[in-house]
Structure 1
Amino acid sequence: MASPTPVYYKQNRLKQLRAFCHAAKTGSISEAAEKVFLSQPTVSLQIQALERELETVLFERRGPKITLTPEGKVLFKLSQPLVEGMDKLHETFAAKQDLLESGELNIAAGESTILYLLPAPLKQFMELHPKIRIKLQNVTGGRDGLSRLRADEADIAVGSMLDVPDDIIYKPLITYAPALIVPLDHPLAEKKLITLEDITPYSLILPPPSLTTWRMVDLVFRQHELKLKAGLEAGGWEVIKKYVEMGLGISIVIDVCLTGGEKLVKFPLDDYFQKRTYGIVLRKGKYLSPQAKRFIKVMELGLPKKS
């Protein structure tokens, strides 16, 4: 009985699926061609061969950009882990034999995560696997980290998430609480308890509105029918802490950034704000390299517990 699938197709299936996956991720035949080091016509022919074999249309074509059809989304979900697994077969095989001594690990994380959460697990991981090269991608906001994951520019992301998209897995590992920080000589510094009403007369130093912390603070003030007085916008907890120490304003921060050595007075705001979690962010269906799996294990076992 003749095989329903031509032999030539089976021989080229991996190449065709690889081209298809890159086209799906980039939304462009030309960008996919660059990723797989082939010409644009060759990638188009590979995708057309898949469409003929499966008797379906995988992409909607609108000018230079393409989008997945419902059938294309099904194939992408099935094929992407297979393609990634084959591309990293050598490293996976070496890991199974306990021979993993090299390779690369790409981690996307915001500045606060890089400064305050990652040093300890990174140090432990580097001591255990000194030949694995680590690339830290300093991203701005959760959306940037998600875009790196979706484009396969990062193996994992580490950070805080409030809303988790359907294509993302979030594994919270550690919890921190929002807190008010004021200079040592500030009028609020002498109080024992702080309410939101106490804060409203004073200018706040906050991260940009595009970041989660600003939106969270704004939402809580509006829920209590109070007006937020944002006096200064600054990026990065270290800058914000230094400006508060200098008397340029007060701030509401996530206490992940507080080491205890700052010249500040800290007030808990647990009655108003929910605690924030930080953890591992993954894309659903993504093949995890042995390096990524080992780093996640270090994170799960090694993060200090703080609340």
Structure 2
Amino acid sequence: MANTRRYYKELRIAQLRAIVELSKCGSFAATATSLGLSTPSVWQQIRGLEKEFDMSLVVVQGQQVELTGQGETLVELARPVVQGFDAIRHDFCSQEAVTPTLSVAAPNDILVYDLPSAIRSYCESFPDVSLSLVDLPSNPCRELIDRGEVDLAVVGQLDMATSNSLLVDHVCDLPFMLICKPGHPLHELESINLVDLVKYPLIMPSEGTNSRSRIESVFSQSLPLHDLQVAFEASTKSLLMQYVGMNFGIAIAPVSEGFKRQLEGEPHLAFSDVTHLFGVEHITVVRRRHRYESSHQVAFREALIEHYRKEAAGSKSQKRR
């Protein structure tokens, strides 16, 4: 009759390791200590072997355990198997091909203003990890994750809906702000509305970005988009800020604490909260579902989340003052 046992019930390396260690330690308790297991676990491993081979492999005498003749034979056969199995990890990890790697995609603004300190700290803590970064807008970053071409993406989202193939950690929300020159008529208003904004030239984010999508969506609900005076389409936030500072136009964009900190001491820019019109952008860390996450990737992801939350907590503390 064919053997119909399932593979998960058959001989396991842990059982062989247990009897080899038992042959050296001489008791279940000492073997359990050596292997970092409980005494009942070691007992079950040995009993599993006896059931597998349908023979007695050990004789218990009080606290001591002796191998039967069959047990000694099994140990002699199992010892090189266990030693060879243990050598696999060392040999595998010593190969250059298995150097731990981590690839992270993020938009330019996040890479420039939000991540440098977190990345610097991570590289100091994990010097053996080969970290690579990709600079792309948020939507292409998510596409890279979906195709399995990068491990993590730090991106902005206008809503929290996402593909079933992705896992998303929400880390903070960035308010949309009006950015203009100090003394600009808009900056003096207590409440800003869309009619006020369309009076002035706009420096817009590039087509296809979250910011551009949100700005056009909000304006299109009240007026034709061709009524907007688009003076310049900027590919990065730093470029956008530079031309606002030149009084080339006003801008609307989500602003992070890291970005604000970079601009401390800059007298040529003024910020007004316009979340009542444009809402917020959600910053998220995205990874592929059903894909094993290594310990060094978990550490990076958790470090990013903690970094953003500390930034948000610091901002709230300053506002209370």
| TM-score of the two chains, using structure 1 as the length reference | 0.63
- The correspondence of residues 152-191 of structure 1 with structure 2, limited to 5 A, is 152-162=148-158, 163-191=161-189
**Overall identity of the aligned pairs, in %:** 23
Whichever residue aligns with residue 213 of structure 1, its letter is S
> Structure 1 unaligned runs (5+)?
5-88, 95-100
Give the alignment's Cα RMSD to 1 decimal. 2.7
Deviations 1:65-104 (A, max 9, x none): xxxxxxxxxxxxxxxxxxxxxxxx969x97xxxxxx9622
Q: CA deviation at 1:2?
A: 4.6
2:285 is aligned to 280
Deviations 1:11-38 (A, max 9, x none): xxxxxxxxxxxxxxxxxxxxxxxxxxxx
Structure showing greater radius of gyration is 2
2:129 aligns with one of 110, 127, 132: 132
2:260 aligns with one of 237, 241, 258: 258
Contact 1:184–1:245 (Cα < 8 Å) also in 2: no
Deviations 1:183-224 (A, max 9, x none): 235333433432222111111111122111111001111223
Q: In 2, Cα distance between the equivalents of 1:121 and 1:102?
A: 22
| TM-score of the two chains, using structure 2 as the length reference | 0.61
Whichever residue aligns with residue 164 of structure 2, its letter is D
2:102 is aligned to 105
Contact 1:161–1:170 (Cα < 8 Å) also in 2: no
1:116 is aligned to 113
2:28 is aligned to none
- The correspondence of residues 64-79 of structure 1 with structure 2, limited to 5 A, is none
1:63 is aligned to none
- The correspondence of residues 199-210 of structure 1 with structure 2, limited to 5 A, is 199-210=197-208
Q: CA deviation at 1:128?
A: 1.5
Change (3 A) 1:246 1:131: same
Q: CA deviation at 1:228?
A: 3.3
* Count of aligned pairs: 216
Q: CA deviation at 1:154?
A: 0.8
Q: In 2, Cα distance between the equivalents of 1:218 and 1:282?
A: 29
- The correspondence of residues 1-307 of structure 1 with structure 2, limited to 5 A, is 1-2=1-2, 103-139=100-136, 141-162=137-158, 163-225=161-223, 227-256=227-256, 257-259=259-261, 260-261=263-264, 262=266, 263-303=268-308, 304-305=311-312, 306=315
> Structure 2 unaligned runs (5+)?
5-87, 317-321
Contact 1:205–1:233 (Cα < 8 Å) also in 2: yes
Q: In 2, Cα distance between the equivalents of 1:147 and 1:222?
A: 27
Residue 177 of structure 1 aligns to a residue in which SS?
strand
Q: In 1, Cα distance between the equivalents of 2:219 and 2:115?
A: 31
